[in-house]
Amino acid sequence: MALTILKPRTLDEAAGLLADGAQAISGGTLMQLAWLRGEAQPERLVDLGKLTRDDINEADGVVTIGAGTRLADLETSDLIARRLPLLVQAARSIAAPGVRRLGTVGGNVAGRIGCLWPALLALDARVTVFADGRETERPLLDWLALPSATILTAIRIPVPAGEIRTAYRKIGLRAAFTPSIIGAAGLLEIEDGHVRSARLAVGAGITRPQRLARSEALLTNRDLGAIDWSALRESLIDEIETTSDAYRSARYRKQAAANALVAGLGGGVAVSRRSSPRHLAPAEPIQPDESIEVSHAKLASRWGVRPDIAAKVAGTLEYLTDHRAPGMLIGRILRAGIPHANIRAIDTSAAEALPGVVAVVTAADIRGENAFGIMAADQPALCFDKVRHMSDPVAAVAAIDAETAARALSLIRVDYEPLPLVEDWEAALADGAPLVHASGNLRAEFRHERGDIEAAFARATHIVEDVYVTPRQMHGFMETEGGYIVPEADGSLTVCVGGQHGTRDRKQLSLILGLPEEKIRVVTSPTGGAFGGKDELHVQPALALLALKAGRPVRLQLDRYESVIASVKRNPMRIRMRTACDAEGRLIAQDVDVIADSGAYASLSPAVLETALEHVAGPYRIGNIRSRGRLAFTNNGICGAFRGFGANQMVFAIESQVSRLAELVGLDPVAIRRLNLRIPGEPGFFGHEVAPTERLSEMLDAASANPLWRTERGLDAEGRLVGVGMALHHQGTGLGSLPHDPGGGRLTFRADGKIEAAYGLDEMGQGVMPAIQAAVSQALGCAREDIVPVIGDTGRTPESGSTTAARGTYVIWRTARDTAPGLSLKLREAAARLLDLRANDLAIAPGGIRDARSNSGALLLRFADLAARLDLDAMPSESTDFHFPKADYTEGNSRYVFCFGAAVVRVAVDPVSGQVQVLDLDQHIAAGPIVDPAAYLGQIEGGGGQGLGFTLTEDAIMQGGAFVTRNFDTYMMPSIADAPLASRITALESLDADDPHGPRGVGEIGIGAVTPAIAAAIADATGFWPVVTPIAPEAILDALAGANHVA
Amino acid sequence: MSRETVSFRLNGAPVTVAAAADRRLVDILRDDLALTATKAACRVGRCGSCMVLVNGEAVNSCLTMAWQLDGADVVSAEGLAAFPEADLVRSALAAEVSFQCGYCAPGFTVALTALLKSNPTPDEADIKAALEGNICRCTGYLSILRGAQAAVAALAAQQTAAE
């Protein structure tokens, strides 16, 4: 459907067009969001932008704002700042600066849901409107009932005279750039301590704009000192009309708005803590540890700049989804659109007949196995008998352009026989539940028991039991899944799609396509973020089938909505945990029952759950343990790998339990951990041997010494409750004792004098390339710039295993360690022949070969000159392959090499909204030597940010088998305003003398301790222990409720 | 498909493209003109990856439709070098290794360049306010803030040197 923009010359003409059914548009920003939500896109839009005034002026005590005024201009207007500062606050709360430069005041108000509404109502604004050939002025609220042919031309606001007091607050889902949960504004005109008039209003988002007259009456004509704020709050809650949605309840909206108005107008916030705040601190002497701060300043001499950063900043780096070539077709995937159904028939004839469509594929086009999956091939490449979740792929099309491809998708008819929905993962396991897979809904069950658990609980002094619930977190990589595939003239296929393990992608594709692996080249790097979410195959099968059938290159990239519904998510878990200690605080019993959602297929979910269960005791000695974990199939999308890989869910539970027991015993959080810490050298959780270099005690030292414990707690200047908390954790690296976990790499001296370091690892952003440069240059003795990383391309790189599980660092370091001496010798021998010296007298140096016997460092031969004189067919090269170190344990999957960490967090809890701001997020890490400081810092800070989101704002909510969240407008990854104000990262680099395993990868260690540390800090501030993440502000308000004193 | 033509300046040169009225600037740049430094991560104005300068100000190109472009002056990340601030911003962000996957990086670079053009001495609060609309999933933002502060310091040093 084509959109026509009508540009009338007069308001009269515009009104006529509107009366005729056309829709008004100004900046168009809200309208485009509405289209995303599925609202019909109109055929005719009337551009009001040039017809309405866009100026702001004041006359006779009234400020007039033209409807065409951009929101950004409202925000920066001197006149508004001087005369109506309340409106500046409101304007700044709308979306983000870039959007405010497009959106207009008129559009915000006319749409009825805009964030300006409460402030304008409190300011007693009026609107001028054009209808029936004339302009009239009306009260603002009249706008809600005016016919759609009316044009909003200006807002008129009387400047409040004399002394005023105002309140404004937008309650959102995160700190900034958020949809409005509710907006509240109030204005009191005061004379000699007497309230002459009061205007209170709420609105924005799903809350209808409204003045709160009954509550206003409790303020009007009262002395300020005689106001019953508590009664006002009750009245507001009673009077505000709003509604619930998947994100927040009506009850919460009312409470938060009432609190905001009362607090903003001077009534404070009633806070009664269910139990008093803790303000705990480690009692033991603070010991310094050997950690160093990881920062550019502190590690200046080791700081390297990654080779791809300049191109990334400039935008010149070509991602696989950026590739454009003439004649390349556009692919699209048809998704089920129904969460559970049998397929009766698929009719693609109309799509195939559409001009411009080059290929349509269904399961019938699959020559190999129509099944894939990293752990078990239970996922069809294209569904043929049934669909198991809303975005199961059913067919795909390749067409000459995106419009044709979209049209073709709409022409494919699939006849479904709906099946009952399996939504709740606990109910999925009940007898008689509808089956997602014929094999049953219980995809995996793990049990472990040791000691005498009943006897231990019977003699316990303290027991804490709770159910910890964790969300369906979305990876939210900025580059959505996609790329391009080229069928080559020789019958082979070049697959350029972002991924995390090219050789495995190749193997899986080979099975699906019925094409030998040698005929498939898979390029997986660079990719714009993955975090586990691009580990499993995603768009590759459909895209490969299209390219093969079309016989032409095809590109495809999921839009964000399709990525939201189709991508793997973090497995939601319900963890019932019962933990006991004796009178001194020794942990004696732990009983854990986990139920996790797998979604429609296994992917890596069984391994995720098993990893969670490996952490049921945390890093503590608990003699009596019983654990059970069950993984259920549902129709809730697909779950699987995500940074933390199950450990972070369990660490939240166990660390919270330990801290809560500490409270009962009367120990501080460090002391109880010290008392129960596993002892280095002891067997691991399953009784298996673990690698040396255990640093739990040192991480406790670091946490104990953290200066945050000595910061002021209690109320901050904004009336928020400040608390400090900590958590400890450890996380394994590598895939574990069961899976095949190969590593390897190759160094080759190139014709241009560079040393090519080839690894089948992927650059997803985490820093594979700088790590390769750092590790190889260090092992050889040359400069980082001498090393050219070649990665992520099965046509050019050897098997290095998957780029997951924080394993890349080890693979890089081990390869460098094992191959550098050999390559060094070959280079020195070659140089020795040319220089007529002995190889042993030469050394590798930055840029070339130097005399090992001299301290001058001067080069005898530059690498480029050496290369120029070597036989191109026999360039020096060294390669290696090995297995990632693993435990000798095969009864279950267990980790062998661990990282250790502690987080210390300071939070401020807002008693108005129940929202939590993380002020400080410090992480102490022990993971062996730092390979590349910037990448190390980035992994810990970045993991911290994702942990913060997991804890406070992120959940891809599903209802009825469908995602409620469709895009980043409601899926709330932290914004820069949600980032910690400060974050100090320290690293303990030492390894035990007998430790052969080198630096550990830090891709996962940065997330796990964040959630329990934030939870503990909230408990420190409020006495409330959150057990459900993301932590609901409503739960915090409830915990703070029961007013008996005013903070 | 009804297509109209729209003419505007792009990176200093006039362009005329055929596009439906509601075609987004981000698609015109990426798909019609193969200028892929502008990234598309949400296409609903909620991530900032597609930021460009329109008439000197940083806006979301996914919220800018073809019919709104008539006569506009558009600068995408490819054309940013026309502003001296861009070089400082890029150098500082690179030196601090502000980004990881980098998909959001051109958007941040555009937003920061626009900020320094309008306010050469922003404090931390100004920087955060200017970057509220840019989402980064990899870094947790602290490295970006450090890069931005380094750019501000470099600009101040440059101006001091010029005085």
Q: What is the ipTM of this complex?
A: 0.98
User: How far from A83 is each of A63, A77, A88, A492, A518, CA to CA, in Å?
Assistant: 8, 10, 10, 70, 73
Q: Which CATH class is domain A742-883?
A: alpha beta
* Shortest alpha-carbon distance between residue A963 and chain B (Å): 16
Q: Which CATH class is domain B83-162?
A: mainly alpha
* Residue stretches of chain B with pLDDT short of 70: 1-3
Query: Do the domains A274-317+672-734+897-1047 and A742-883 sit in the same CATH topology, yes or no?
Result: yes
pLDDT, average across residues A763-767: 98
Chain-chain contact of B41 with A529 (C-beta, under 8 angstroms): no
Confidence tier at A315 by pLDDT (50, 70, 90): very high
What is the pLDDT at residue A285? 62
The structure tokens listed for A609 are 């759950």
Is the minimum CB–CB distance between B38 and chain A shorter than 8 Å?
A: yes
Confidence tier at A3 by pLDDT (50, 70, 90): confident
Burial (0-12, 13-18, 19+ Cβ within 10 Å), A664: middle
pLDDT, one tens digit per residue, over A379-392 is 999 999 999 999 99
In our burial notation (b when 16+ CB lie closer than 10 A, e otherwise), range A210-241 reads bbbeebbebbbebeeeebebeebbebbbebbe
* Cβ–Cβ < 8 Å for A747, A755: yes
What is the pLDDT at residue A857? 82
Is the minimum CB–CB distance between B117 and chain A shorter than 8 Å?
A: no
Is the minimum CB–CB distance between B101 and chain A shorter than 8 Å?
A: yes
The C-alpha atoms of residue A113 and residue A379 are separated, in whole angstroms, by 42
Residue of A nearest to B53 (CA): A98
What is the pLDDT at residue A288? 67
In our burial notation (b when 16+ CB lie closer than 10 A, e otherwise), range B13-49 reads eeeebebbbbbbbbbbbbbebebbbbbbbbbbbbbbb
Confidence tier at A1 by pLDDT (50, 70, 90): low
DSSP H or E segment with residue A830: helix A808-835
Q: What is the mean pLDDT of chain A?
A: 96
Chain-chain contact of A314 with B132 (C-beta, under 8 angstroms): no
* Shortest alpha-carbon distance between residue A54 and chain B (Å): 16
Is the minimum CB–CB distance between B1 and chain A shorter than 8 Å?
A: yes
What is the pLDDT at residue A280? 76
pLDDT, average across residues A776-783: 98
Is the minimum CB–CB distance between B128 and chain A shorter than 8 Å?
A: yes
3-class SS of residue A138:
strand
In our burial notation (b when 16+ CB lie closer than 10 A, e otherwise), range A563-590 reads bbbbbbbbbbbbbebbbbbeeebbbbbb
Q: Which amino acid is at A864?
A: A
Residue of A nearest to B34 (CA): A324
The C-alpha atoms of residue A396 and residue A409 are separated, in whole angstroms, by 7
pLDDT, one tens digit per residue, over A594-640 is 999 999 999 999 999 999 999 999 999 999 999 999 999 999 999 99
Residue A1043 has pLDDT above 50, yes or no: no
Provide the CATH topology of domain A47-264: 3.30.465
Q: Which of A308, A968, A1014 is the best mutation test for B, with the most CBs of B within 10 A?
A: A968
The three-point CA angle A589-A591-A597 to 5° equals: 155
pLDDT, one tens digit per residue, over A633-673 is 999 999 999 999 999 999 999 999 999 999 999 999 999 99
The three-point CA angle A613-A616-A619 to 5° equals: 120
What is the pLDDT at residue A1047? 36
Residue of B nearest to A297 (CA): B96
Chain-chain contact of B142 with A980 (C-beta, under 8 angstroms): yes
The C-alpha atoms of residue A970 and residue A985 are separated, in whole angstroms, by 31
Domain range summary for chain A, segments of one domain joined by +: 47-264, 274-317+672-734+897-1047, 320-420+475-569, 742-883
Chain-chain contact of A478 with B132 (C-beta, under 8 angstroms): no
How many alpha carbons fall within 13 Å on the CB side of residue A611?
A: 33
The C-alpha atoms of residue A171 and residue A228 are separated, in whole angstroms, by 24
- In angstroms, how far is the first alpha carbon of chain B from the final one? 57
DSSP H or E segment with residue A76: helix A71-76
C-alpha dihedral sign at A86, A89, A91, A93: negative
Q: Which amino acid is at A13?
A: E
Is the minimum CB–CB distance between B79 and chain A shorter than 8 Å?
A: no
Residue A862 has pLDDT above 80, yes or no: yes
DSSP H or E segment with residue B145: helix B142-162
Compute how many other C-beta atoms are within 10 angstroms of the C-beta atom of residue A347: 14
* Shortest alpha-carbon distance between residue A30 and chain B (Å): 9
Contacts A28 to B, Cβ<8 Å: 63, 65, 68
pLDDT, one tens digit per residue, over A152-190 is 999 999 999 899 999 999 999 999 999 999 999 999 999
Closest to B102 (Cβ–Cβ): which among A72, A308, A944?
Answer: A308
The three-point CA angle A527-A529-A532 to 5° equals: 110
Residues B4-79: name the CATH superfamily: Beta-grasp domain (3.10.20.30)
Is the minimum CB–CB distance between B74 and chain A shorter than 8 Å?
A: no
Report H helices in A320-441. Answer: 349-353, 402-411
Is the minimum CB–CB distance between B60 and chain A shorter than 8 Å?
A: yes
Place of tokens 């099309």: A397
| A–B interface: beta-carbon pairs under 8 A | 238
Closest to A941 (Cβ–Cβ): which among B41, B64, B142?
Answer: B142
Contacts A477 to B, Cβ<8 Å: 101, 103, 137
Q: Which CATH class is domain A274-317+672-734+897-1047?
A: alpha beta
Residue A55 has pLDDT above 60, yes or no: yes
Domain range summary for chain B, segments of one domain joined by +: 4-79, 83-162
Is the minimum CB–CB distance between B56 and chain A shorter than 8 Å?
A: no
Contacts B42 to A, Cβ<8 Å: 560, 967-969
Compute how many other C-beta atoms are within 10 angstroms of the C-beta atom of residue A736: 23
What is the pLDDT at residue A282? 84
Residue of A nearest to B101 (CA): A765
Chain-chain contact of B20 with A3 (C-beta, under 8 angstroms): yes
Burial (0-12, 13-18, 19+ Cβ within 10 Å), A482: buried
Residue A1044 has pLDDT above 50, yes or no: no
The C-alpha atoms of residue A1041 and residue A1011 are separated, in whole angstroms, by 24
Ranges assigned E (strand) in chain B: 4-10, 13-19, 51-54, 57-60, 73-75
Contacts A942 to B, Cβ<8 Å: 100, 138-140
Residue A276 has pLDDT above 70, yes or no: no
What is the pLDDT at residue A148? 85
What is the pLDDT at residue A287? 67
pLDDT, average across residues A329-350: 98
The three-point CA angle B38-B43-B47 to 5° equals: 75
C-alpha dihedral sign at A393, A395, A398, A401: negative
Chain-chain contact of B21 with A305 (C-beta, under 8 angstroms): no
Is the minimum CB–CB distance between B36 and chain A shorter than 8 Å?
A: yes
pLDDT, one tens digit per residue, over A258-267 is 999 999 999 9
pLDDT, one tens digit per residue, over A871-919 is 999 999 999 999 999 999 999 999 999 999 999 999 999 999 999 999 9
CATH number listed for the domain at residues A320-420+475-569: 3.90.1170.50
Chain-chain contact of A529 with B101 (C-beta, under 8 angstroms): yes
Chain-chain contact of A312 with B99 (C-beta, under 8 angstroms): yes
Chain-chain contact of B132 with A177 (C-beta, under 8 angstroms): yes
